[in-house]
Amino acid sequence: MSSSRKLARPGWAHAAKRLSTAEAGIALAILIASLIAIATQTSLVIRGIVPTLEGGLVDTDDYLCLVRVEHLWQTGAWFDSVIPRIDPPTGLALHWTRPMDVLLMAGALLATPLVGFRSALFWWGSLVSPVLLI
């Protein structure tokens, strides 16, 4: 029996149709969840609960994360986890890892020619968490 005859069986076509229906259901659920997340994030910003439009972030860890990325951008010292501006003269060694820093720096570098690094870092830092949520 040739391989084309095996695929032509009615059972194969029915199973493929059932699978695509299940995939469509999953895609629809993901779409609905994404739209709910977008609506929630947008309403939080519009109502002023998240102070992004006023130039603020939610908490101090957000600011410190941006300071850490800015320090990495200025010095290029990948393995230096000490922020010298905190607790001078020794600085503060942060326990955070670099993957989020790379993500923040990559987004900021894309917009740097348009608005400058600090502004690009702030706006990308404000947007990256809602984007990752979706």
Q: What is the spatial distance between Cα 102 and Cα 107, in angstroms, rounded to a whole number? A: 9
pTM of the model: 0.69
Structure tokens at 8: 């032509």
Give the start-to-end residue ranges of the domains of the chain: 1-49, 51-134
Report which of residues 65 and 52 the model is more confident about.
65
Residue 58 has pLDDT above 90, yes or no: no
Q: Is the Cβ–Cβ distance between 103 and 90 less than 8 Å?
A: no
Report which of residues 11 and 115 the model is more confident about.
115
